[in-house]
């Protein structure tokens, strides 16, 4: 009897994962969550802050709250409010916990620097505004391993890859999508992008070559929105709808994408399913907009590949959901995931825990995870280099380091082509320090100072020319004045 029972029940250390909402005093209350009709998560979270898109009159705004600022949020609490249209998507920079990007109906992407201790006054001035889309911008996603590389996708069916450090477009993918882009997701090293489109196709793109690597047509046959994310080992996980409007999950192998590895039907609700993948544990969490549940599945090579683990259920439906990076979790409590569930008027953290009797660090639950240090500079990535995330251990918990301000160096208008050394040393204030850290010398700082010295000489020369020009203009004015006086005398018959 025992033998047959063991065969039926698949062994998994995540089988008993359970979700639990925090106590009421640990929630964020009295928040007017955005009512805009757009299927993004409306929430972004990192180990320092939770950001929530809210209702705002006369433009778009989102709240940024320090994680410890729980309880009732006063109506006068300052917001990030520089957009002229509703904010549709937000995403924290994975390499700087004080930098966040936002996309809006006003067709712009803005990148913001949040003060270390949170906002004390409304923030209206972005560090950089990126303008290139002709319609509203609904998808924002930072590159996972290269510093300052940002993806945006708009309702103009265009994807733009930006270098935030210089404020310029690196790549523009115009012709790959014939219809609205529902989602865009980077793979682990940021060499490929996976998209879901209204034409029912899933596409894998190489952004640097600006070409389609793989296209899966009619991944889900229903007309409602799909989502697609990369998993490990060249696998793609998708959510969508069947022809009969039943919600579906599917797993695809990029090596053989003519048929899904597996496709499962969930239910007949109509909310879009938002997938969140934990690369460390191989667990996918699926949250439906308008649902009151979070389902979670383990992804393995063993058939049927998508294994249902459990479901967190609550009374109230979710308007959106934020997913905490692994370094923001409490490893002492065997917390393997934390969600920030948006309700109509509040944000409620939900903690996912693996029950363990021991208080010791559970290294099987916490393999080394992606840390905040970028593996590449933007220029390295543009040159064709790829790198996996730099991993950190969570054995002693994550200790945040001092964040550096984002510095934007617009392309130099004083000369046509900017030397690559300049771009490497001035993209951000942290770039030079990271290079010096790697090389163990002050070389990059010297290059930077030489460059600044060269620019200073150029500016001095231009100032001299301006001074000379001003003197010439003044002399010409005096000459014209004299000529006008002489002309007046001639007309009066005095000469």
Tens digit of pLDDT for each residue in 117-145?
999 999 999 999 999 999 999 999 999 99
Please state, for a pLDDT cut of 90, what percent of the chain lies above it: 67
Whether pTM > 0.75 for this model: the answer is yes
Asked whether the predicted pLDDT for residue 421 surpasses 80, the reply is no
Q: What is the pLDDT of residue 495?
A: 59
Q: What is the pLDDT of residue 417?
A: 37
CB contact at 8 A, 273 and 264? no
CA angle 176, 255, 309 (to 5 degrees): 100
Q: What's the distance, CA 93 to chain centroid?
A: 6
Task: Say how many C-beta atoms besides its own lie within 10 A of residue 438's C-beta.
Answer: 9
Q: What is the pLDDT of residue 457?
A: 67
Q: How far apart are the first and last CA of the chain?
A: 128
Counting Cβ atoms within 10 Å, is residue 473 exposed (0-12), middle (13-18) or buried (19+)? exposed
Q: What is the mean pLDDT of residues 393-408?
A: 76
CA–CA dist 331, 359 (Å, integer): 10
Q: What is the pLDDT of residue 142?
A: 98
**Cβ neighbours of residue 176 under 8 Å, at least 6 residues apart?**
159, 195, 203, 205, 210, 211, 212
Q: What is the DSSP letter of 342?
A: E
Averaged confidence pLDDT in the chain: 86
Asked whether the predicted pLDDT for residue 352 surpasses 80, the reply is yes
Asked whether the predicted pLDDT for residue 434 surpasses 60, the reply is no
Task: Give the pLDDT confidence of 77-88 residue by residue, as tens digits.
Answer: 999 999 999 999
- Single out the residue of 292, 289, 226 nearest to residue 263, CA to CA: 226
Residue 395 pLDDT class (50, 70, 90 cuts) = confident
CA–CA dist 145, 162 (Å, integer): 14
Asked whether the predicted pLDDT for residue 9 surpasses 80, the reply is no
Residue 248 pLDDT class (50, 70, 90 cuts) = very high
CA–CA dist 466, 470 (Å, integer): 6
As separate numbers, helices (DSSP H) first and strands (DSSP E) second, the chain gives 5, 32
CA–CA dist 138, 64 (Å, integer): 19
Counting Cβ atoms within 10 Å, is residue 134 exposed (0-12), middle (13-18) or buried (19+)? exposed
Q: What is the pLDDT of residue 81?
A: 93
CA–CA dist 375, 50 (Å, integer): 25
- Single out the residue of 271, 284, 282, 212 nearest to residue 240, CA to CA: 271
Q: What is the mean pLDDT of residues 241-251?
A: 95
Higher pLDDT, 212 or 57: 212
CA–CA dist 230, 227 (Å, integer): 11
Phi, psi of 8 (to 5 degrees): -75, -45
Phi, psi of 426 (to 5 degrees): -115, 0
Q: How far is CA 122 from CA 28, 83, 305, in A?
A: 19, 12, 48
CA–CA dist 171, 153 (Å, integer): 12
Q: What is the pLDDT of residue 473?
A: 76
Q: What is the DSSP letter of 299?
A: E
Task: Give the pLDDT confidence of 442-482 residue by residue, as tens digits.
Answer: 333 334 444 445 566 677 767 777 777 777 777 777 778 77
Q: 192 in the Ramachandran plot: left (φ > 0), alpha (ψ -120 to 50) or beta?
A: beta
Q: What is the pLDDT of residue 425?
A: 37
Q: Which helix (H) or strand (E) holds 272?
A: none
CA–CA dist 98, 447 (Å, integer): 28
Q: What is the pLDDT of residue 262?
A: 94
Task: Say how many C-beta atoms besides its own lie within 10 A of residue 357's C-beta.
Answer: 5
Buried b (16+ CB within 10 A) or exposed e, 255-283: eebeebbebeebeebebbbbbbbbbbbbb
Asked whether the predicted pLDDT for residue 403 surpasses 80, the reply is no
CA–CA dist 374, 390 (Å, integer): 7
Asked whether the predicted pLDDT for residue 439 surpasses 60, the reply is no
CA–CA dist 460, 473 (Å, integer): 20
Asked whether the predicted pLDDT for residue 254 surpasses 80, the reply is yes
Asked whether the predicted pLDDT for residue 222 surpasses 90, the reply is yes
* DSSP per-residue string spanning 27-93: SEES--B---S--S--EEE-SSEEEEEE--TTSEEEEEEETT--EEPPTT---EEEESS-EEEEEE-
Q: Which helix (H) or strand (E) holds 208?
A: none
**Cβ neighbours of residue 296 under 8 Å, at least 6 residues apart?**
14, 17, 283, 284, 285, 286, 309, 310, 311, 312, 337, 352
Q: What is the pLDDT of residue 265?
A: 94
For the beta sheet containing 99-104, the strands, ordered from the edge strand earlier in sequence to the opposite edge, are 87-92, 99-104, 108-113, 128-131
Q: What is the pLDDT of residue 453?
A: 52
Higher pLDDT, 25 or 13: 25
Asked whether the predicted pLDDT for residue 37 surpasses 50, the reply is yes
Q: What is the pLDDT of residue 444?
A: 39
Residue 415 pLDDT class (50, 70, 90 cuts) = very low
CA–CA dist 129, 137 (Å, integer): 13
Least reliable range by pLDDT among 42-51, 58-67, 152-161, 183-192: 58-67
Q: Which helix (H) or strand (E) holds 267?
A: none
Q: What is the mean pLDDT of residues 21-40?
A: 92
């Amino acid at each position: 009897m025992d033998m047959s029972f063991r065969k039926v029940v698949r062994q998994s250390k995540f089988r008993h994962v359970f979700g639990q909402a925090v106590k009421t005093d640990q929630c964020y209350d009295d928040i007017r969550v955005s009512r805009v009709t757009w299927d993004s998560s409306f929430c972004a979270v990192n180990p320092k802050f939770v950001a929530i898109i809210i209702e705002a009159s006369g433009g778009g705004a989102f709240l940024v709250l320090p994680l410890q600022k729980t309880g009732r949020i006063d109506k006068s609490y300052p917001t990030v409010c520089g957009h002229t249209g509703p904010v549709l998507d937000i995403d924290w920079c994975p390499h700087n916990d004080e930098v966040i990007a936002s996309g809006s109906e006003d067709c712009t992407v803005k990148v913001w620097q949040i003060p270390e201790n949170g906002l004390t006054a409304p923030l209206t001035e972005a560090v950089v505004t990126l303008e290139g889309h002709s319609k509203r911008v609904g998808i924002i996603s930072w590159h996972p391993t290269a510093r300052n590389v940002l993806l945006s996708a708009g309702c103009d069916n265009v994807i733009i890859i930006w270098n935030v450090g210089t404020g310029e477009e690196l790549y523009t993918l115009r012709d790959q999508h014939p219809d609205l882009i529902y989602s865009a997701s980077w793979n682990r090293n940021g060499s490929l992008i996976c998209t879901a489109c209204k034409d029912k196709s899933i596409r894998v793109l190489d952004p640097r070559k600006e070409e389609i690597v793989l296209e899966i047509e009619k991944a889900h046959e229903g007309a409602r929105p799909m989502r697609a994310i990369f998993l490990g080992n060249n696998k793609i996980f998708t959510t969508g709808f069947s022809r009969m409007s039943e919600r579906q999950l599917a797993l695809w192998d990029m090596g053989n994408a003519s048929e899904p590895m597996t496709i499962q039907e969930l239910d007949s609700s109509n909310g879009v399913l938002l997938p969140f993948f934990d690369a460390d544990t191989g667990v996918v969490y699926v949250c439906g907009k308008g649902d009151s549940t979070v389902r979670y599945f383990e992804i393995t090579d063993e058939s049927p590949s998508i294994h249902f683990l459990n479901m967190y259920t609550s009374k109230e439906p979710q308007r959106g959901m934020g997913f905490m990076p692994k370094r923001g979790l409490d490893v002492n409590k065997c917390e393997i995931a934390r969600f920030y569930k948006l309700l109509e008027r509040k944000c409620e953290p939900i903690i996912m825990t693996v029950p363990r009797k021991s208080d010791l660090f559970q290294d099987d639950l916490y393999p080394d995870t992606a840390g905040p240090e970028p593996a590449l500079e933007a220029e390295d990535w543009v040159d064709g280099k790829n790198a996996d995330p730099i991993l950190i251990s969570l054995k002693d918990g994550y200790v945040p380091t001092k964040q550096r301000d984002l510095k934007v160096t617009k392309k130099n208008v004083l000369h046509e082509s900017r030397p690559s050394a300049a771009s490497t040393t001035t993209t951000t204030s942290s770039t030079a320090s990271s290079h010096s850290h790697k090389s163990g010398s002050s070389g990059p700082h010297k290059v930077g100072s030489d460059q600044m010295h060269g620019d200073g000489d150029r500016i001095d020369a231009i100032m001299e020319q301006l001074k000379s020009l001003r003197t010439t203009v003044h002399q010409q004015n005096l000459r014209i004045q004299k000529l006008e006086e002489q002309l007046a005398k001639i007309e009066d018959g005095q000469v």
